[in-house]
Amino acid sequence: MAAIAAVLALTACTGTFMAEEEQPKGPDPAFVRKIVTYPSPEPAGTIIVDPGSHYLYRIQGDGTAIRYGVGVGAEGFVWNGLAVIHTKQEWPDWYPPAEMLARKPELREHMVQLQSGLGMKGGPENPLGARAMYLWQGNKDTLYRLHGTNEPGTIGHNVSSGCIRLTNEDITDLYDRTPVGTKVIVLATGGPPPAATQ
């Protein structure tokens, strides 16, 4: 079962591009959740993702933010823009897109037929982790998610097929603080660094 989890964690929305022997087993302490100074004109509750620094900020409204470490998309799998949290799920099922199954046909052996198509049932072995929040622009699914991971050592790295991954503990904390309709800003990589200080 651990081998299946490793294969899936190395691909998902997720699509990790680090060799298993390169992955640290635990999260890097630099990416531990903490409150930081982060002046922003955005209202409290807004989520700002800075893929270049591997941090996600939840604006507090008092000049601070809760900063979470994240794993982000590998080169060629990066998205940026403005979206909203359209739906939220605990222990979400994972449905890899057809493009991913074409790139990684070995995934098919781990998939089963679920209500919405070929996928993997939610649970501890699922690469989307404990929670997922789905990003939409208007009435269109961006196909990008804020989600957990069962590979905490990937936080702080460019490892996925574009989604923003947090440790299962951090995505659960963020999920509990974030209502549907929350504004999410994903900055372009190579942009100016955020104004956060400790």
Per-residue pLDDT at 75? 59
Task: Give residue limits of the domains in the chain.
Answer: 2-20+27-186
Q: Which pair of structure tokens corresponds to residue 115?
A: 């209500």
* Dist CA 57 CA 104 (whole Å): 32
Percent of the chain past pLDDT 70, that is, above it, reads 79
User: How many angstroms separate the CA atoms of 133 and 174, rounded?
Assistant: 10
Statement: the pTM of the whole predicted model exceeds 0.85: no
CB 155 within 8 A of CB 70: yes
Tokens representing 198 are: 């400790």
- According to CATH, the topology of domain 2-20+27-186 is L,D-transpeptidase catalytic domain-like (2.40.440)
Q: How confident is the model at residue 82 (pLDDT cuts 50, 70, 90)?
A: very high
pLDDT over 90 for what percent of the chain?
A: 57
Judged on CB neighbours under 10 Å (0-12, 13-18, 19+), 58 is buried
